Structure 1
Amino acid sequence: MEPVDLNAAADAYAAAPLLNCLLREAADPDTGAAGAYRLRGSGRLLRVRGDRRPTRPELRTAAGWHPLSHTELVKLTADELREYTGVSNDELPVEIADSREAVAALLVARAGAEPPADPYVLSEQSLVMGHPHHPAPKARGGAPAASWLPYAPEAHARFPLVFLGLREDQAVQEGGAAADAAVDSLAEALDGPRAPAGYRLLPAHPWQLDLVAGRPGIREAFEDGRLLRLGPGRLPVWPTASIRTVYVPGADVDLFAKFSLDVRITNDVRRLWRHDLLRLRRTDAAVRAGFARLRRSGPAARWLSDRGYRTASFAFEELAVLVRDGLRGHVEPGTTPLLAAALAEGFPGNPLERTADPSGWWRAYLRRVVVPVLELFARDGIVLEAHLQNVLVAFDAEGMPAQALFRDAEGVKLPGDLPREAAWQRLVYCLVVNHLAEIAGALAAHHPGSAPGLWPAAREEFARHAEDRSLPEVAALLGAAGLPAKTNLLLRWTRADGADARYLPLPNPLRG
């Protein structure tokens, strides 16, 4: 077995999503050469190999096709965007390079790490490439790898939480007794310290604590006793794909805990923002009620509830911890939950790759994932952010999709949050463009014979639902020429707010 060239592998992992963005957002297919695209900024020709994960970029020159190194590809991207938009940006090329260096560090770390035995955790920790249409999906804020690798899910990390003591008169929390008990239970589950009299436990992510502990306000709180360092838990937690959310499985406790992380990951600095926390209970309650109605009508889908949060009044966003339902009690007996994003990127044991019935597998997947999203919108006007990292799919012993589980109240939109047209656009982007297109592409790559029937089957599932429910948007979707695709490269280049989604139309595979 030949040794793997980790440097070349890092280039390939980093180039694929960058090329996906560049070709989607700033180029047009050119019929003059196979795999060639005409760049809109300069008019130059760029050629790639592959479709879903483009590789081996080459630029047409007077001397022929010139292979581009990753450094040259980043420079080409910056030059093209500068010409195409008329805007300069010195930060994004650095961020893209940082993402590539992060991938290289992850590959080295993975080579010497022991993968988790739990298939679910393995799926959460499998995203070495990450978002397939983001220019810098693995950027870590430019920090040295040594500062973040101990907490990186892609490096198969596990680590203890740090427990703080927060003086009772400084504690802010919401979610009632159940959320209160859930936060306190983390110390017991992880064999952590107990809070002294007059203090409440405040679990902290060690990386976030490293980032903010010296800041004014927090430093003074440690000095005057409003905040105490109680020490780490003895047992580790598992970081999930979102990096700042950890899984805490145990005999008595089965929870997720989500923290702030003052680092830009893809489009946003990943804080638990005050405005999101203040609307959390209203949003989560509405979604829980919607899923309860779904269960009465048949779909096996479940919602992992964001129960509540605890934080410090003087560092409301920086030190917040949110507790979320774990898997126990939600996953159908005899099934194994896996992260949807991992099915698209691939990992050992991926049921998508090993199925003997790809067409049946796909139809079952559509029933489990599509129906709950459309039902909640039709009945309640709720938009789930059903992208690949917010959906778990549980598989039976034969590897067939049996259930979908949805998470993250922060991304949910309720009636009135957006105009209905914008809400539907968001639903279609997350569900169809971000999610189903990637799963269909992966299935077709592993089972080429199934490819012609995948989108007709998806069209049938959407059409069937349109007949069962009063949802005129579905009929319009099935007749639309284009689907909304988020422009992550242009968003980052123009320094738009991370939540300011902008879309361009893609050819609609659902159209008859």
Structure 2
Amino acid sequence: MHPATAAEAEVAADLAAVRPELGARYSAELPGARAAVLTRLWRALTHEPLPWVTGRDRGRDGLTLRLADGRRLHGPHPDPYATSPYVTAVRLDEVAHDGPAPLMADLAVPHGAAFAAELGHSVASLALSRAGQPPRSEEWPAHGWQWEQRVVDGHPYHPNCRSRPGFSVAEQLAYGPEHRPVVELGLMPVPVAECLVAGAWPEGMRDGGRLLIPVHPWQAAHVLKMPAAEGISAHPLMSLRTLAVPGGPHVKTALSARLTSSVRDISVRSIALSATLSAFAESLAARTDGLLHVTRTLGAATANSPDLAAVLRESPDAYAAPGEHVVPVAALAATGLPGSPGWLADFARLALTVGLRLLELGVALEAHGQNLLVVVSATGAPLRLVYRDLADVRVSPARLARHGVPVPELTGRVVTDDVTTLRRKLFGSLVAGALAGAAGSGEALRAALETAVQDLPRTPDLGALREEPLPVKALTLMRLSPGVSGDQWAELPNPLAWTRFEAGRP
């Protein structure tokens, strides 16, 4: 059986056993899920530096990829910033494909079989996620975690947007934020002497000489393979491994599963640096004239293992005044606000003002739609930004010193003075990620950016943003390169590089 058909059939069989009432809706959602994942895959095939794509030819009726084995792959003109599923089929020589997994399997490229299986699971899990949705309410949520649970389709550009290998249907329903469960985090007791602790670990998570480390139930069952004492009821957020405790902090748990691209554990190094990074980021945010808040790391602990660790963070809701809402950028589509060109321009101006200011000072945020949140007024006007999760920022000692900013004691990949690395981190996440995802198309992104950059300080970083191709992580190339460590990059056409950006035209 074909990998895509196998994944879809497997989910259907499991669903019949655990939630039979969703079976018909799941089947009805499959065609749309295939198109959504195929659209993401087509973006990668048309723009990433894949070694087996030897040429790309634009024609009146679309784009043709020349493959190293002599075959041709034809599809519609690509818009690398589109979030709507506009690709319903592509043609490999004379064979039409409407599913991403069969296409990847038939391409027969190195490591393609494993990736095809992931794509099949992405389609099946996406259909499952869509099948379980209630009618959309026009009323805005009262809690931040409810905004996060409105993000049904996952990453707007990654073909593995909903791939959750290792999770059964029952586990997806029990732990996936889009299914709106309450998750019971376990508490694993570990002697203090065996732990690395940063910040202040709360007394309520101590038992004499032991720390009680929050553990995700999937992690306890599949990785630690030991039961954890009942502990904390919480609501899962977009990342699945981070959960909101009602009236309390956000708890980032170790979750050693491959979700989208990465294995979700918590490195010992990140625990060691967490308190230093948190204090540094808080002091740096003070230089943005109140336009940015960074959620503080309250405490972090690890039993000297990436598989047993947790980070306690301040809730972004702490930065909302009465009547305001804190909305993750990835959830903006649920508000209806990005549909206004004026709103998009205002939001882009706010985000670029903050991002470029920090970059000039020496810090590149990984400001994608999950890490970046916007505080909006009761009428929806963008007021301020909130940033969370400092593990993947980049810090330039040279830039900090040039501006008289004390250099924190940091080590490892967080520290770099390489201009390309710094710009890739910010531009790839904020512009080609968060802003593009909110805009939903190249034309809408172009219009918002053109207005937003007019009043920004003219710095070398802004010059690069205006004139050079936009960097973006080559997510599919990375999945097809299991022996290559670190990020790999692609370049997307820059909407600001032309006076008129005609997305999707030859």
Instruction: Give the equivalent residue in structure 2 for 1:431.
Output: 430
- Cα 1:77–1:160, aligned 2, differ >3 Å: closer, same or farther? same
2:327 and 2:494 map into 1 onto residues whose CA distance is 28
Match of 2:72 in 1: 44
Q: Does the alignment pair 1:494 with 2:481? A: yes
Aligned equivalents of 2:106 and 2:97: distance in 1? Answer: 14
Mapped partners of 2:336, 2:146: distance in 1: 10
Distance 1:124 1:39, change over 3 A: farther
Kindly tell me: are residues 123 and 117 of structure 1, through their superposed partners in 2, closer, same or farther at Cα, counting changes over 3 Å? Answer: closer
Between 301-310 and 486-495, report the one with greater CA deviation. Answer: 301-310
- Corresponding position of 1:375: 357
User: Which amino acid is the alignment partner of residue 504 of structure 1?
Assistant: A
> TM-score, with normalisation over the residues of structure 1?
0.79
Other-structure match for 1:505: 491
SS of the equivalent of 1:9 reads helix
Distance in 1 between residues matched to 2:466 and 2:123, nearest whole Å: 38
Q: Comparing 196-205 with 422-431, which one deviates more in the overlay? A: 196-205
Give the conservation status (yes or no) of the 8 Å contact 2:277–2:390.
Answer: yes
The answer to whether the 8 Å contact 1:39/1:80 transfers is no
Distance 1:96 1:273 in 2: 27
Q: Which amino acid aligns with 1:360?
A: G
The equivalent of 1:465 in structure 2 is 456
Q: Is the alpha carbon distance of 1:142 and 1:452 closer, same or farther for their aligned partners in structure 2, counting shifts above 3 Å?
A: closer
Task: Give secondary structure in 1 for the equivalent of 2:146.
Answer: helix
User: Which residue of structure 1 lines up, in the alignment, with residue 311 of structure 2?
Assistant: 322
Does 1:210 pair with 2:221?
yes
Contact kept? 2:254, 2:309, Cα under 8 Å:
yes
Gaps of 5+ in 2: 1-23, 398-414, 500-506
Identify the residue that residue 192 of structure 1 maps to in structure 2. Answer: none
User: Equivalents in 2 of 1:50, 1:377: separation in Å?
Assistant: 31
Letter of the 2:420 partner, please give it: E
Task: Write out aligned runs for 1:278-293 (5 A).
Answer: 278-293=272-287
| Deviation for aligned residue 1:324 | 0.7
CA contact (8 A) 1:13 1:128 kept: no
Which runs of 5 or more structure 1 residues have no equivalent in the other structure?
Answer: 188-194, 223-228, 445-449
Deviation at 1:166, TM superposition (A): 2.7
User: Quick one: distance in 2 between partners of 1:151 and 1:32?
Assistant: 45
Please name the residue that 1:275 is paired with. 269
Query: Taking structure 1 as reference, are residues 247 and 274 closer, same or farther at Cα in structure 2, changes over 3 Å only?
Result: same
User: Partners in 2 of 1:43 and 1:60 — Cα distance?
Assistant: 7
**In the alignment, which residue of structure 2 is the partner of 1:199?**
210
For the residue of structure 2 that corresponds to 1:54, the secondary structure is coil
Aligned CA distance change for structure 1 residues 79 and 466 (closer, same or farther; 3 Å): farther
Match of 2:337 among 344, 348, 351: 351
Q: Assess if the C-alpha contact under 8 Å between 1:274 and 1:317 holds in 2.
A: yes
Residue 32 of structure 1 is matched in structure 2 by 59
Inter-CA distance 300–454: structure 2 relative to 1 (3 Å threshold):
closer
Who is 1:447 aligned against? none
In structure 1, the partner of 2:421 is: 422
Offset of residue 439 of structure 1: 2.0
Give CA deviations for 1:450-493 in whole Å, capped at 9, x if unaligned: 77733321332xxx3333xxx3222233232x221221111110
Post-superposition CA distance 1:203-259 (Å, at most 9, x none): 221111112232xxxx6xx8xxxxxx43244xx311111111111231xx3x11101
Q: Which residue of 2 aligns with 1:100?
A: 123
Q: Which residue of 2 aligns with 1:301?
A: 292
Paired residue secondary structure (1:286): helix
Partners of 1:328 and 1:138 in 2: how far apart?
26
Aligned partner (choices 68, 83, 101) of residue 97 of structure 2: 68
CA distance in 2, matches of 1:292, 1:350: 31
Measure, in 1, the Cα distance between the counterparts of 2:344 and 2:337. 11
Aligned ranges for residues 1-400 of structure 1 at < 5 Å? Answer: 5-25=28-48, 30-41=57-68, 42-48=70-76, 51=79, 52=82, 53-59=85-91, 61=93, 67-70=96-99, 73-80=100-107, 82=109, 87-110=110-133, 117-118=141-142, 120-175=144-199, 179-181=200-202, 184-185=203-204, 196-214=207-225, 229-233=228-232, 236-250=233-247, 253=248, 255-294=249-288, 298-313=289-304, 316-343=305-332, 346-347=333-334, 349-353=335-339, 358-379=340-361, 381-400=362-381
Whole-Å separation in 1 of the counterparts to 2:260 and 2:359? 27
Please give the TM-score of this superposition, normalised by the length of structure 2: 0.80
Q: How many residue pairs were aligned?
A: 445
Identity %: 25
Alignment partners' CA distance in 2, 1:130 and 1:288 = 29
Question: Which of these residues, 454, 467, 473, is aligned with residue 479 of structure 1?
Answer: 467
Q: Which runs of 4+ in 1 moved over 6 A?
A: 112-116
Q: Are the equivalent residues in 1 in contact too, given 2:191–2:210 (CA < 8 A)?
A: yes
CA distance in 2, matches of 1:117, 1:457: 30
Aligned-pair distance for 1:168?
3.6
* Deviations 1:158-211, CA, capped at 9 Å, x for gaps: 222212333343343111xxx322xx45x6xxxxxxx65443322221111112
Cα distance between partner residues in 2 of 1:478 and 1:404: 23
Tell which has more relative contact order, 1 or 2 (C-alpha 8 A, sep 6+). 2
Equivalent pair of 2:147/2:327 in contact (CA under 8 Å): yes
